Structure 1
Amino acid sequence: MVELNGAFPRTIRGGLKIARMVLAFMAAITFGVGGIHEAYLTLAIIEFVITLLFFLLYMLSLQKTMKFLFWPLADAFNSLVSALFLLIAGLCAAIKKIIIEHIVGGVFFLILCAVCIADAAFLLRHITFNRPVHGRDIQR
């Protein structure tokens, strides 16, 4: 049964996911208007969709029913891989300096990279690996 976790968007993890989606959406719009290579636009759209799927996973508490994967670790791994791709793409887009949209999109990617690193750091700090939690909740 799907249980709606209405408090998740107000948590730190929820806020980081929302920030990632907003920044990816803004980067996609910027790259779409700027007419840059399709790879940048594709990366922004993929980042938005994957973050939306993780947001819905935690919002609907599906991680409790789908126990075949350790979702916080998968989320942290996704954040770290995304940060690497966004760093490379953000630097490439900002260095091109052909039109202003490329620079702005590159800056959005670099900010998004920092948010991904913060998200991964927060997740990895709160993963317990079969240890008692001691009052710390992973949804803070």
Structure 2
Amino acid sequence: MPFVNTTYKLDGETDEEYAKVFPDLIVGCAKISLELGSKVLKLPFPGTAEACREISKLCDGVPWAVLSAGVDHETFIGQVETAMECGASGVIAGRALWKDCISLDGDVQRTRLEEIASKRLREIQDVLDASAQAA
């Protein structure tokens, strides 16, 4: 059964208030999804290593992947490292790979994808490989 949980900042909620509750929101989404029978989870980075560990414990063998959720690549690499160290199964990297590569000029875009996005993908793969070797 597909189930998508999304979390957004409430109207009137400050960035600080939202950041404080975000880990619990993502853990709660994972819990609801698992209770509804999800067989794999794709979640934004829940904000802390503790929240990652809690999700892994809740999953009890159900794989979960951390989404790039539009953060910059350097931030995403750190999130991937933390999530993998805390039990994530993998990543789903979209905008963190290619958002800086979009161009109206096809040649520029191709060059950026080859030089920027492919390098970023290799960096993510290095983190995943290191995690697999540590396991």
TM-score (normalised: structure 2): 0.32
TM-score (normalised: structure 1): 0.31
Answer 1 or 2: which has greater strand percent: 2
Answer 1 or 2: which has greater helix percent: 1
Which structure exhibits the higher relative contact order, with contacts defined as CA atoms closer than 8 Å and separated by 6 or more residues? 1
